[in-house]
Amino acid sequence: MATATGEFPLAEKYAYLNTAGVGLIPRSVVEGIQETYGRYLTTPPYEDLFEEFREGVEKARQVFAPFIGARPEEVSFQPNSSTALNLVVQMLDPKKGENVVADDLGFPSDIYPLLALKKKGVEVRIVKNRNGLVTAEDYSRSVDDKTKLVMLSYVSWVNGMKFDDIKEIAALAKRHGAYTMVDTTHGTGYLDIDVEAWGVDFLATSNYKWLLSPFGAAEFFCARRNLESFQPPHVGWNSTAGGTRTLNAEEFTLAKHAKRFEPGNPDYIAIRGLTGSLRFISKVGMSKIRARTLGLVGEIMEGVQRLGMDVLTPADKSHGSGVVLVTSRVRSGAEIARALAKKGVLVSDRYYHGGNGIRISPYFYNDSTDVERLLSGLKIALN
């Protein structure tokens, strides 16, 4: 892709097919971050640099919100998506006799905060996938009037299954008085996301994968209708209404927008990097990025099947994403991944309900030559 020329030097050296692990950061974004750090040597950090950073955070809300169909006031920045997921569980505070529901294709950080509720007597219901697929119908058998929270991964971290019926699942939860939380980490940046159309209550996403940004910041969406319904479990000077000059130690008033979930200084540098990466993605174009990514996925699925490997990712386009999981009957995933790495092809080995294989995740900085390198490496690794 022409606009990516020179921006991803690692993609020129390797067949980097591991964005589901960590994405590559554009050169221009890295240079922007370095420039920002350099400002510490030339600009008084308080108040000049501090105010500039804080203005940058508000700008980042405005830039990010359209990527998920939200309003800027519904977006807060968290250290990572795991923090946001735990934040929701803490605020909802399910009680003994109630239940929470998730599925077995979700990322562990989506599930662990729910499992921790067992000690309180909360029932944790895990919907089982059927041949790598989970649907609203599957969830309907587990959600009832005692359900407090439905937790979803928009795209499975392991086999790449994408939900095409989140709106139906959110409506199901609402009918039973439950809330819906969706983790879109493996879809934000190249797949369509619309929290308003979906009707979900909360969303979290990580930046260091498909959003091509540094570690240190993640986004948490809380629907405007819920913003003042829950008391944040963590409060601080930054979560209050007004600026630093209105602070006192006797009382506080929480901000009416999502900043109420940010108790202290966020990672200003990581957020600066996110803004740069989002602008880069917008310049390339989401539709182009999606077409390139899903096109490469199609090439990969066809190629590995010709080699006799089993694809554990749904084949229909409605459930497809940028993640493919394949297994071999003659080599373990770890063995294959090591053999590919020696050939400059980078993927992840992953375990999947008793089996294991390799997870392949191309992005728009890849092209068909990377797929050819992958398939050539697999021919050798499988013999």
pLDDT at 1: 57
206 & 82 share domain: yes
- Asked, for residue 25, whether it belongs to a domain, the answer is no
User: What's the pLDDT tens digit per position in 56-88?
Assistant: 999 999 999 999 999 999 999 999 999 999 999
Which domain range does residue 160 map to?
32-281
Distance CA 300, CA 294 (A): 10
83 & 219 share domain: yes
Low-confidence residues in the chain, pLDDT < 50? 2
Q: Can you give the CATH number for the domain in which 364 is found? A: 3.90.1150.10
pLDDT at 326: 97
pLDDT at 2: 45
203 & 295 share domain: no
Distance CA 347, CA 306 (A): 19
Strand 99-103, strand 147-153: pairing: parallel
212 & 250 share domain: yes
End-to-end CA distance of the chain: 34
- Asked, for residue 24, whether it belongs to a domain, the answer is no
Domain boundary (247, 281, 315) is at 281
7 & 46 share domain: no
Please give the C-alpha separations between residue 131 and each of 151, 311, 321, in angstroms, as whole numbers. Answer: 20, 11, 16
6 & 52 share domain: no
pLDDT at 246: 78
Q: What global pTM score does this model have?
A: 0.95
46 & 116 share domain: yes
- Asked, for residue 23, whether it belongs to a domain, the answer is no
User: What's the pLDDT tens digit per position in 331-351?
Assistant: 999 999 999 999 999 999 998
Please give the C-alpha separations between residue 142 and each of 24, 162, 182, 190, 383, in angstroms, as whole numbers. Answer: 39, 20, 17, 31, 44
Q: Counting every residue, how long is the chain?
A: 383
Phi/psi at 203 (5° precision): -150, 145
180 & 76 share domain: yes
- Asked, for residue 102, whether it belongs to a domain, the answer is yes
Sign of CA dihedral 19, 181, 88, 277: positive
- Asked, for residue 365, whether it belongs to a domain, the answer is yes
- Asked, for residue 291, whether it belongs to a domain, the answer is yes
108 & 249 share domain: yes
CB 310 within 8 A of CB 331: no
Q: Can you give the CATH number for the domain in which 76 is found? A: 3.40.640.10
pLDDT at 355: 78
Q: Quick check: helix, strand or coil at residue 51?
A: helix
- Asked, for residue 100, whether it belongs to a domain, the answer is yes
CB 191 within 8 A of CB 211: no
Q: What is the domain count for the chain?
A: 2
362 & 261 share domain: no
180 & 260 share domain: yes
pLDDT at 4: 60
- Asked, for residue 162, whether it belongs to a domain, the answer is yes
Domain boundary (234, 262, 281) is at 281
Distance CA 133, CA 162 (A): 9
Instruction: Name residue 354's amino acid.
Output: G
Q: How many Cα neighbours within 13 Å face the side chain of 175?
A: 9
231 & 312 share domain: no
Domain boundary (238, 255, 281) is at 281
Q: Where are the alpha helices (DSSP H) in the chain?
A: 9-13, 27-38, 50-68, 81-92, 108-115, 136-140, 166-175, 195-198, 268-284, 286-306, 333-342, 368-381
